[in-house]
Amino acid sequence: MQHFLVCYKVKGGRFLIGDPALGIKWITEEELALLWKSNKLLQLEPNETQFVKNRKEQHLQWKWFLHLVSKDSSILTTILIIGIAVAILSLATAVFAQVLIDKLIPSGDSVRIYFAIGLVALLLISKSLIGYFRQMLMLKQGVDTNVRITKNFFSGLLLIPMPFFASRKIGDIVARLNDIGRIQQTVAYLFGELLISILILIISLAAVFMYNQWVGLVLLAGIPLFAFIAYVYHRAIVIGQREAMVANALNESNFINTINNILPVKSFGRESRFAKLGLVTFRFLQEKLYHLGKVGSAVQLFAGLAGIIVTIAVVVISTSQMMAGKMTTGEFMAVFSLSGTVLPALASIAFANIQLQGARIAFERMYEFSSMDKEYNAEVDDQKEKATSFEILQLHAVNFRYPGRRLLLEEVNFSVSKGELVTIFGDNGTGKSTLLSLIQQFNQPESGIITFNGNNVNCYSINSYRKLVAVVPQDVTLINGTLLANIVMSDSEDDLHQAIKVLSKHQLIPFFENFPQGFQTMLGDGGIQISGGQKQLVGLARALVVSPKLLLIDELTAYMDLRAEQFVMELLLRLKSEMGILSITHNIRNAALSDRIVVLSNGKVEATGKHHELITGNNLYSTAWKAFATFQNA
């Protein structure tokens, strides 16, 4: 498995390294030697523009988080005020016990006793009702926060450049989306249980000090004890939470990938192998959860022992104070009751770290995506020149390679104009589909430029440019919805009616009428399965209903039967008068119908010309044509 370490500095024979799996830590020279087997080093110098210091990154994270919850400031303030009331009312039982034992019972005044009991009952009922109201507010705030964070994350995710999606597992993205619930739960925890615990701790400690300062000091001494336990296990909690989340993402990715590829799994009888692989990834997740659970159990054990020590100390001090005549029986009961609220509150505060660290890691994983550079800034893009028509698209000496790989396209030059059907002909793996990605501005050339109507394509608003360009990929993906929804990809009534008109104009409706429920047939998950050729017809219809000025098609007829293929080629020949068409294919028969053919071989343009010009030369196209003619005559 590929792995790397980042060395930040060396001090006293120790190395501060960043390990993607374990985080930042100090290691010795011997430990580094065990890890660094390759002895390969890449030296990097941080610059001022792209290198972001950790402190600044944390500031940006907090700024982003506060922006998300700022709209809840009024409701959170209300929750805070209610929390104070709940904390104060929590003292009712302890104070009542002291007054009842020391004053009311000795007085023998039954009226006062029953009145006090009624008053306490009223206070406790009020506490329950206020707690219920507070819980309702928190539920509403939770829903609003979840929706807001999800909207921010998901809408931002869709604006990340295409190369990101090619390098990420779907399960990892889904797992991070699911982490939003953990973040919201922590917000609720902060303004719920943790806030109440802090208020109860402060108010109860103050009340204990009012009764007896020595008992108060004992309880106060418990704070550093619990804090020390939390500090000792802090790193183990952080590592455990991060490893569990990564394992969960891996597990989800494996399940999603297996279900998406169920056809080859079943076709080749590999069910047992993939079941075993699924079990391995799931067991790996369970092991990480087990180790995290062990850490949590250890924390609870030592917290329990610390609580026992403090409780015994409270009993000893309280007893000695009573025996010395410095504390009454009622005060003893009140102090003991208050201690019973202080210790759980103290433990809750000290070990809030477990929940907070889980949320922090989830937040960092989500922020990693949300803070990525977007494909374009909507405000800046809106200020650019709008593309409104199409005359010609040209590639000038375009070079391109994927990161860390050899040059895929080298000095590529060609053009496509309105009224033309131009075909890129070449073998698999020569960069044909990558050309379409460059034209759509999903990737940028390493060098060279692409011009649109004579201007650099980057001068135009991406949004307006893509409205003029439509693409039909070789593998058409379906959304979960009706056939018509798959074609239009919009819920606007006007768009739906316009789509029917366009499909009727181009005589595509007969191809969809034989679907079980026509245009209302459900496709995607839970819908009917359609053939590859039918998917390509859906893709073509999807492209045409937006009335493009430049149509890009990738192996459009690869899965179609002869009748559909013939219809589509005739349709393209009719359509070229309204637009420019750039087709990618290695189908020699379809390529021959083009106005111009660009022969791509090993990432370079080998030849350009019409069919009759190319077959007389020595190139990939002429070789393919001769083989095709020989096969036809055989």
261-309 confidence digits (pLDDT tens): 777 787 777 888 888 888 998 999 999 999 988 988 888 888 888 888 8
CA quadruple 274, 280, 282, 285: dihedral sign: negative
Q: Are residues 356 and 397 in the same domain?
A: no
Residue 562 tokens read as 């002869």
Give me the residues paired with residue 450 across strands: 395
CB 512 within 8 A of CB 483: yes
Instruction: State the virtual CA torsion across 600, 601, 607, 612 in degrees, nearest 10.
Output: -80
Q: Are residues 333 and 258 in the same domain?
A: yes
pLDDT at 224 over 70: yes
Q: What DSSP designation does 634 have?
A: -
CB 350 within 8 A of CB 226: yes
Do the domain assignments include residue 490?
A: no
Tokens 């007893």 belong to 319
* Phi, psi for residue 441 in degrees, rounded to 5: 65, 30
Q: Are residues 224 and 283 in the same domain?
A: yes
What is the average per-residue pLDDT within 131-145? 78
| Sheet containing 580-585: order of strands | 469-472, 550-554, 580-585, 421-426, 596-601, 604-609
pLDDT (0 to 100) of residue 537: 93
pLDDT digit string, tens, across residues 487-502 = 998 878 888 888 999 9
Which element (helix H / strand E) includes 90? Answer: none
Q: Are residues 140 and 14 in the same domain?
A: no
Distance CA 605, CA 412 (A): 6
Q: How many domains does the chain have?
A: 3
What is the average per-residue pLDDT within 592-614? 91
Give me the residues paired with residue 319 across strands: none
Q: For 172-176, 314-318, 513-517, which range has the lowest pLDDT when averaged over its residues?
A: 172-176
Give me the residues paired with residue 608 across strands: 598
Q: Are residues 174 and 287 in the same domain?
A: yes
Do the domain assignments include residue 260?
A: yes
Cα-based distances in Å from 202 to 89, 132, 219, 581, 594: 13, 23, 11, 74, 82
Q: For 69-73, 298-302, 400-404, 535-539, which range has the lowest pLDDT when averaged over its residues?
A: 69-73
Do the domain assignments include residue 430?
A: yes
Q: Are residues 391 and 448 in the same domain?
A: yes
pLDDT (0 to 100) of residue 410: 92
CATH of the domain at 226: 1.20.1560.10
Q: Are residues 359 and 418 in the same domain?
A: no
Could you count the other beta carbons within 10 Å of the beta carbon of residue 325?
7
Burial 350-384 (b: 16+ CB within 10 A, else e): bbbbbbbbbbbbbbbbbbebbeeeebbeeeebeeb
pLDDT (0 to 100) of residue 500: 92
Q: Are residues 292 and 335 in the same domain?
A: yes
CB 196 within 8 A of CB 83: yes
Q: For 338-347, 363-372, 552-561, which range has the lowest pLDDT when averaged over its residues?
A: 363-372
End-of-domain residue from the set 346, 370, 394: 370
pLDDT digit string, tens, across residues 20-64 = 666 678 888 888 888 888 888 888 777 666 565 666 666 666 676
Q: Are residues 119 and 211 in the same domain?
A: yes
Cα distance from N-terminal residue to C-terminal residue, the chain:
51
pLDDT (0 to 100) of residue 330: 78
Do the domain assignments include residue 347?
A: yes
CATH of the domain at 395: 3.40.50.300
pLDDT at 1 over 70: no
Distance CA 151, CA 156 (A): 8
pLDDT at 474 over 80: yes
Do the domain assignments include residue 46?
A: no
pLDDT (0 to 100) of residue 53: 62
Q: To the nearest whole percent, how much of the chain has pLDDT over 90?
A: 22
Pairwise pLDDT comparison (179 vs 468), residue with the higher score: 468
Tokens 């995290």 belong to 292
Do the domain assignments include residue 77?
A: yes
CA quadruple 348, 351, 356, 362: dihedral sign: negative
pLDDT at 396 over 90: yes
Distance CA 595, CA 603 (A): 22
Farthest-apart Cα atoms in the chain, separation: 121
pLDDT at 366 over 60: yes
Distance CA 407, CA 362 (A): 38
Distance CA 271, CA 11 (A): 53
Q: Are residues 101 and 155 in the same domain?
A: yes
Q: Are residues 345 and 401 in the same domain?
A: no
pLDDT (0 to 100) of residue 398: 94
Q: To the nearest whole percent, how much of the chain has pLDDT over 70?
A: 93
Range of the domain at 31: 6-35
DSSP string, 170-203: HHHHHHHHHHHHHHHHHHHHIIIIIHHHHHHHHH
End-of-domain residue from the set 305, 337, 370: 370
Q: Are residues 464 and 552 in the same domain?
A: yes
CB 595 within 8 A of CB 422: yes
What is the average per-residue pLDDT within 11-20? 82
Do the domain assignments include residue 186?
A: yes
Nearest to 443 by CA among 400, 411, 474: 400
Do the domain assignments include residue 215?
A: yes
Residue 612 tokens read as 């009759």
Annotate 97-155 with three-state secondary structure: HHHHHHHHHHHCCHHHHHHHHHHHHHHHHHHHHHHHHHHHHHHHHHHHHHHHHHHHHHH
Q: What is the pTM of this model?
A: 0.70
Burial of 394 (0-12, 13-18, 19+ CB in 10 A): middle
